[in-house]
Amino acid sequence: MLTKSLAAFEKAKQVIPGGVNSPVRSFRSVGGTPPFIKQAQGSKIYDIDDNEYIDYVLSYGPQILGHVHPTVVEAIRAASLKGTSYGAPTLAETKLAELICEFVPSIEMVRMVNSGTEATMSALRLARAYTKREYIVKFEGCYHGHHDSLLVKAGSGALTLGVPDSPGVPASIAGNTLTIPYNDVAALENLLQLKGSEIAGLIIEPTPGNMGLVLPNPGYLQAVRELTAAYGVVLIFDEVMSGFRSSEQSSQGLYAIEPDLTCLGKVIGGGLPVACYGGKKEIMQCVAPLGGMYQAGTLSGNPLAMAAGIATLEYLKAHKICAQAATNTENLVQGLRQIIAELELPCTVNILGSMFTLFFTKNQVTDFASACTSDLASFKIYFHAMLEQGIYLPPSQFETCFMSSAHTPEDIAQTLSCMRIALTKVKASLA
């Protein structure tokens, strides 16, 4: 029952567009009422109607330690007693920067911001400032936040000029964004051959998670690295989602590729608003006040946010949390694949570290086009059947599920038995 959530949603819609502060939360693509959450603990969240859910959203990634982790909570509490914002440098900022540089060796210098959107926006400006070129390249189905340059998806063909995804994005800005398919080396080669000397930066989720989870073909990221280097294009890895999810060193560590710049977010804030962009010193030295590329933030490096980030990363390192969360995910996905095989369902599961996506397609999903072969009607049935049984999944086929170190063997067994029921329903609908 979602009686109270239904009323809350109606009330919210009066004063907030669509009742939500981020569109995916509205459940538009699956229909129905989003549960309004009042509390969380470990692997569970609770709504205002007192329903309990095992959580596979985890705030879209940040909560890798599970909700309300005592170490993180205590760090935030202690910091808040000393002041919530100063607009002056603190030791905590250096500490978090050092931790990030230590985990991700391609990052030599790092600037803190408040959201992933800010991080990618700033990284692009920096690439342009550094190269004195204007074009940028992004990949179909990769999401990098909501600023103008990156709210662009592909037309067909590598050289179709960017068309805005959203009203309000000027065509003149979108036109500087070139979009090509992921996992397609030839498309990148062609684009660079034609426009390489005018391209400032290429931004990519090395292991995309915003079209559902997609993995790079063998050698693909290596080719991206070599080609961008050959044309003097700044290679930006957007690891806002994959950071500390695919591995402790993030996807660049896992695949042994060194980008020029990296964007991180989500996990590094432990649930508070933190993101960053960083990379080679030579490039980062262009950022103000060292260089001319202007970027600033009243609340950047906020003491509460830094405290949460430091507590999360230190705990994660000391307790091998990435590996634990990944083991939980392997266990769940192994069971899921078995159910799919038994039911002979046309499904594909992609998994990496503590992330996975169940696609309702028999095709291998390796790019946006193959992700789009998924049957959205089946997803909708599956999603609602899971929600009714107390399993909270991201409300879209094109989102990734996340797990934490707080998910227990009981949670996994419970989830698998719910999956069996939900997928049997899907199977019946296909008959």
Ligand X SMILES: *Cc1c(COP(=O)(O)O)cnc(C)c1O
Return residues touching ligand X (CB under 6 A). Answer: 115-117, 120, 143-145, 205, 209-210, 238, 240-241, 265, 275
CB of 48 to ligand X, least distance (A): 24
Separation between Cα atoms, residue 106 and residue 203, nearest integer Å: 16
CB of 225 to ligand X, least distance (A): 18
> SS3 sequence, the chain?
CCHHHHHHHHHHHHHCHHHCCCHHHHCCCCCCCCCCEEEEEECEEEECCCCEEEECCHHHCCCCCCECCHHHHHHHHHHHCCCCCCCCCCHHHHHHHHHHHHHCCCCCEEEEECCHHHHHHHHHHHHHHHHCCCEEEEECCCCCCCCHHHCEECCCCCCCECEECCCCCCHHHHCCEEEECCCCHHHHHHHHHHHHHHEEEEEECCCCCECECCCCCCCHHHHHHHHHHHCCCEEEEECCCCECCCECCHHHHHCCCCCCEEEECHHHHCCCCCEEEEECHHHHCCECCCCCECCCCCCCCCHHHHHHHHHHHHHHHHCCHHHHHHHHHHHHHHHHHHHHHHHCCCCEEEEECCEEEEECCCCCCCCHHHHCCCCHHHHHHHHHHHHHCCEECCCCCCCCEECCCCCCHHHHHHHHHHHHHHHHHHHHHHC
Q: Is residue 411 annotated as part of the catalytic site, yes or no?
A: no
CB of 265 to ligand X, least distance (A): 5
Closest CB to ligand X: residue number: 116
Nearest to 332 by CA among 257, 223, 245, 413: 413
Q: Which residues does residue 264 pair with via DSSP β-bridges, in sequence order?
A: 276
Going from the C-alpha of 293 to that of each of 122, 132, 298, 382, the distances in angstroms are 9, 11, 17, 47
Q: Which one of 44, 138, 153, 266 is the catalytic residue?
A: 266
Both tokens assigned to 318: 């000391």
Q: Choose between 147 and 427: whose C-beta lies nearer to ligand X.
A: 147
Q: Is residue 238 annotated as part of the catalytic site, yes or no?
A: yes
Q: Which one of 47, 55, 184, 238 is the catalytic residue?
A: 238
- Asked if 207 and 216 count as a contact pair (C-beta separation under 8 A), the reply is yes
Q: Which residues does residue 161 pair with via DSSP β-bridges, in sequence order?
A: 178
Q: Choose between 241 and 406: whose C-beta lies nearer to ligand X.
A: 241
CB of 157 to ligand X, least distance (A): 25
- Asked if 67 and 36 count as a contact pair (C-beta separation under 8 A), the reply is no
CB of 205 to ligand X, least distance (A): 5
CB of 362 to ligand X, least distance (A): 27
Both tokens assigned to 329: 């995910």
CB of 143 to ligand X, least distance (A): 6
CA dihedral (17, 21, 24, 26) positive or negative: negative
Q: Choose between 144 and 225: whose C-beta lies nearer to ligand X.
A: 144
Q: Is residue 13 annotated as part of the catalytic site, yes or no?
A: no
Q: Choose between 128 and 144: whose C-beta lies nearer to ligand X.
A: 144
Q: Choose between 357 and 378: whose C-beta lies nearer to ligand X.
A: 357
CB of 233 to ligand X, least distance (A): 19
Q: Choose between 143 and 398: whose C-beta lies nearer to ligand X.
A: 143
CB of 326 to ligand X, least distance (A): 18
Q: Choose between 135 and 398: whose C-beta lies nearer to ligand X.
A: 398
Q: Which one of 56, 130, 143, 315 is the catalytic residue?
A: 143
Q: Choose between 204 and 340: whose C-beta lies nearer to ligand X.
A: 204
Active site positions, annotated = 143, 238, 266
